[in-house]
Amino acid sequence: MTPEQMHPLAKLAKETVETYVRNRKLPQTRELTPEMKERAGVFVSLKKHGQLRGCIGTFEPTTANVAQEIISNAVSSATRDPRFMPITPPELPDLTYSVDVLTKPVPVNSVKELDPRKYGVIVESGGRRGLLLPDLEGVDTVEHQIQICRQKAGIYPDEPVKLYKFEVKRYR
């Protein structure tokens, strides 16, 4: 995908990662699109040759707007995802970017209300929370979605949990 074909939100994530990885600086302030002015939780995912290379986000808004949320999470995805070494400049041409803007999570009373293609899920027990985005390759059942969330949060299979669902708008 060429930069001209990228959605402005994904383009902001790309510009942020490239500027930060090369110069340890954040991109210059730009005019915000209507989507960038909203407040929402945001996840920035980086892939290299189709394989996950970084994914960090926020469940709910932590900054003034989606643009700031993207900038913060893009830097974290590139440099602070504990599953990966930080992105290096030679990798930049091989990266693809997606930005997921989350709706406000709503409580779920039954797993029957979930659908791994349509809804992301948050699993909560005590102060621990695990989140999984919707429509991920290899995650085809609600049970698998919940299992991954439990693992991410360190919640044992027999511990009672609260479930929440949310939807995303995915931008590439």
* Segments of the chain assigned to CATH 3.30.1490.150: 106-167
Q: In what order do the strands lie in the sheet with 42-48?
A: 51-57, 42-48, 95-102, 168-171
With cut-offs at 50, 70 and 90, classify the pLDDT of residue 2.
Answer: confident
Within 49-172, strands assigned E span 51-57, 95-102, 106-108, 120-125, 128-132, 162-166, 168-171
SS3 state at 112: helix
Pairing assessment for the beta strands 106-108 and 51-57 based on DSSP bridges = unpaired
Is 106-167 CATH 3.30.43.10? no
Report pLDDT for 1: 74
Report pLDDT for 138: 94
Q: What is the CATH number of domain 8-102?
A: 3.30.700.20
Q: Is the pLDDT of residue 29 over 80?
A: no
* Segments of the chain assigned to CATH 3.30.700.20: 8-102
What amino acid occupies position 15? E
pLDDT, tens digit (0-9, with 9 covering 90-100), for 31-89: 999 999 999 999 999 999 999 999 999 999 999 999 999 999 999 999 999 999 999 99
pLDDT, tens digit (0-9, with 9 covering 90-100), for 91-118: 999 999 999 999 999 999 999 999 999 9
Pairing assessment for the beta strands 42-48 and 162-166 based on DSSP bridges = unpaired
